[in-house]
Amino acid sequence: MELVSKPLAGILVVSLEQAISAPLATRHLADLGARVIKVEQPGTGDSTRHYDSVVDGMSAHFVWLNYGKESAALDLKSDADLAVLRGILDRADVFVSNLAPGAIDRLGLGLDELAAAHPRLIVVDVSGYGKGGPLDHKRAYDMLVQSEGGSCTITGTPGHPAKPGIPIADCGTAMYVYSTVLAALYEREKTGRGAVVEISMLDVVAEFMGPVLNQYIHAGVDADPVGMGSPMIVPYGAYPTADGQTAVLGTTSDREWQRLCAIIDRPDLAVDERYAHNADRVEHRGDLDAAVAQWCAGRSLQDIQAAADEAGIGNARLNRVGDLVEHPQLRARDRWRDVGTPGGAVPALKPPAAARHWDTVSGSVPALGADTEAIRTEFG
């Protein structure tokens, strides 16, 4: 089958972006072949450039978020450089911003002004808390929004809330930006009209909290964190094994519960009415976790996983980051590629979503302002 290497070829994206949420979204647009111009402050650039220097002098965050883009270092307080940005906007298909509250308005690039001046432009504004309301003026970082959104209180252990290690507010927001831009491009093909999209990180976290919100609204249950488990499903957790590893397994239905009772050789639990349904099992979390833990403690991880696979019970090994780097499933499926950086080629994962007939677009990570003069010449 002939490869169509760039399904978003011809789409121009310009982004005033920092940190994670907007850069991850625009990087995925670049993965699909869009041209992405990242506008950065001269001298400093995106804040993630300076988190560390572990990737050949560049930060781990910046390399992850920014390959396949062009960097234009423009001083937007300068009339000349602001005119360059306006020149890019005249030809752009998508504009994405996640600057501090009010920043784009002070540049004369408010959402209404952009929509009026560029009726085909898809304008995306990412904020922490949305427009209006008592928090709309506040800066918002992943941990802050997760704290406001309650996700930290259902993570960790009772009395010890924790921020999930993955920045879910940032990453979740990025995926909503990415998918909404694609939907808006599709709509524009039919109507010729652009769109104004406002995405709040708090709204994203609140959406992800859906099940526990429903529990509270309808049952008055304020979920407690349960470490490597689920506040809503039992048994479902991590259990030490006889060979010093950790097995992660559990059930998601009453039928799976019956099968789990069989493999841990506890038929008494299978017929006990106290544990018949998941809601009942949640009430007896300690007893059931202890039963599964006792069975796992007497067996190797390999034996546990073999028995669970044979019985149709979901299971996994608790891996560290180094284990993921060497994960045989990623290697077997050829999930790694090389991307360029100013210091040379480095490994990066292929994008998770792609059609079979699309080629993998592997761009490079730009040095700060690497494309400024070319962009000034083209758009100035």
- pLDDT tens digit string along 247-261? 999 999 999 999 999
Residues 270 and 170 in one domain: no
Residues 92 and 144 in one domain: yes
Residue range of the domain that includes 336: 12-209+332-379
- pLDDT tens digit string along 65-78? 999 999 999 999 99
Residues 363 and 295 in one domain: no
- In this structure, is residue 32 part of a structural domain? yes
Residues 120 and 258 in one domain: no
Q: Peptide bond preceding 235: is omega within 30 degrees of 0, i.e. cis?
A: yes
Its pTM stands at: 0.94
- pLDDT tens digit string along 181-227? 999 999 999 999 999 999 999 999 999 999 999 999 999 999 999 99
- In this structure, is residue 215 part of a structural domain? no
CATH number at residue 277: 3.30.1540.10
CB 67 within 8 A of CB 350: no
- In this structure, is residue 220 part of a structural domain? no
CA distances to 12, 111, 113, 174, 282 from 126, rounded to whole Å, are 19, 11, 17, 9, 38
Residues 70 and 166 in one domain: yes
Torsion over CA: 22, 61, 41, 85 (sign): negative
How far is residue 225's CA from residue 144's CA, in Å, rounded to a whole number?
18
Residues 309 and 342 in one domain: no
Last residue of a domain, one of 269, 287, 317: 317
- In this structure, is residue 1 part of a structural domain? no
Last residue of a domain, one of 317, 340, 368: 317
Give the residue-averaged pLDDT of 357-365: 89
- In this structure, is residue 158 part of a structural domain? yes
How far is residue 35's CA from residue 379's CA, in Å, rounded to a whole number?
14
Q: What is the pLDDT at residue 1?
A: 44
- pLDDT tens digit string along 78-131? 999 999 999 999 999 999 999 999 999 999 999 999 999 999 999 999 999 999
Q: Which residue blocks in the chain are alpha helix, DSSP H?
A: 21-31, 60-66, 79-91, 103-106, 111-117, 142-148, 168-191, 201-208, 210-219, 254-263, 267-271, 278-283, 285-297, 301-311, 321-325, 328-332, 372-379
CB 46 within 8 A of CB 66: yes
Give the residue-averaged pLDDT of 264-277: 97
Domain count, the chain: 2
Place of tokens 């509250």: 101
Residues 365 and 289 in one domain: no
Among 138, 131, 174, 143, smallest CA distance to 22 is for 174
Residues 172 and 59 in one domain: yes
What pLDDT band is residue 3 in, cutting at 50, 70 and 90?
low
CATH number at residue 137: 3.40.50.10540
CA dihedral 43, 89, 186, 2 (to 10 degrees): -70
Residues 63 and 142 in one domain: yes
How far is residue 328's CA from residue 324's CA, in Å, rounded to a whole number?
8
Residues 191 and 147 in one domain: yes
